[in-house]
């Protein structure tokens, strides 16, 4: 299994692995998180935190391509203070031979119909027999509510093109994303987005969420480059949220994940 994991890391583009897990809800919606207001906006578009009113914690586990050695573990803490919202995130990925860690600190604020945020990240990579390297990056996000049903979002990641040391062939993705979220009815949400990552083709994404019951949501989505399909379900009981999602890659298979979050 370890040899297989190392082979995947070597032969596939690094950007496929150097990703931030935005949680099962956003994943199931085809990774269309740029125009969503959610606890997991901390990992997608931090501007979505600006209207958060309650202290929240969340954790998630993702098994990349059903390989436990290529798993991601994420922990989030959201702290609202009057009109200011602060977020702290940590993500761990990989195994003993190859390990990525990412620590992020975000600040978001709401200005009426406009929400804005900035995020500072510390990145660390450890590779057996090669040592470790670190880097820093920033992210910025905006959201604009046209009305109570339509939300537009934009997000920019690593605009300063921060990189790791040259002796390790790894990069921090530089990307820009635009999208919108449309609340068609009380129980139907439609999302779409377009993402451009430097040195990669443009990706178009879409997702839909149907609130089948007042405590259960069904979700599905798709992205075109690379082609991926997504599905998931979310359940809530009072302040506790439980979410599951599965992403399907046309060549590499399935990546399931699960998350728990609680608002105080």
Chunked into runs of 10 residues, the chain (264 residues) has average pLDDT values of 49 57 97 97 98 98 92 98 97 93 98 98 91 94 98 97 80 95 97 96 98 97 96 97 96 96 97
| End-to-end Cα separation, the chain, in angstroms | 41
> How many Å apart are CA 49 and CA 108, to the nearest integer?
6
Cβ proximity of 173 and 18 under 8 Å: yes
Give the pLDDT of residue 186.
Answer: 94
Domain containing 122: what range? 2-263
Give the pLDDT of residue 129.
Answer: 82
User: pTM for the full model?
Assistant: 0.91
Q: Find the CATH number of the domain harbouring 145.
A: 2.40.160.40
Give the pLDDT of residue 19.
Answer: 81
User: How many domains does one find in the chain?
Assistant: 1
Q: Which residues contact 58 (CB under 8 A, 6 or more apart)?
A: 23, 39, 40, 74, 75, 76, 78, 241, 259, 260, 261, 262
């Amino acid at each position: 299994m370890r040899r297989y994991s190392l082979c995947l890391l070597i032969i596939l583009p690094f950007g496929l692995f150097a990703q931030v897990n935005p949680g099962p809800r956003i994943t199931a919606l085809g990774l269309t998180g740029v125009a969503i207001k959610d606890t997991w906006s901390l990992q997608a578009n931090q501007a979505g935190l600006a209207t958060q009113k309650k202290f929240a914690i969340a954790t998630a586990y993702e098994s990349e391509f059903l390989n436990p050695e290529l798993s991601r573990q994420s922990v989030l803490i959201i702290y609202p203070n009057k009109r200011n919202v602060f977020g702290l995130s940590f993500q761990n990925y990989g195994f003993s031979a190859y390990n990525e860690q990412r620590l992020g600190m975000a600040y978001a604020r709401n200005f009426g119909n406009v929400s804005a945020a900035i995020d500072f990240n510390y990145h660390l990579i450890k590779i057996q027999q090669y040592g470790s390297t670190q880097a820093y990056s920033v992210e910025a996000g905006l959201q604009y509510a046209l009305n109570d049903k339509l939300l537009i979002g934009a997000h920019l990641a690593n605009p300063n093109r921060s990189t790791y040391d040259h002796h390790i062939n790894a990069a921090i993705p530089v990307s820009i994303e635009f999208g919108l979220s449309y609340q068609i009815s009380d129980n139907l949400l439609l999302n779409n987005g377009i993402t451009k990552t430097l040195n990669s083709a443009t990706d178009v994404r879409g997702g839909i969420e149907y609130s089948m019951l007042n405590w259960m949501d069904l979700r599905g989505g798709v992205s075109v480059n690379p082609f991926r399909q997504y599905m998931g379900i979310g359940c809530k009981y009072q302040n506790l949220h439980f979410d599951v999602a599965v992403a399907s890659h046309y060549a590499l298979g399935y990546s399931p994940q699960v998350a728990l979050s609680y608002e105080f």
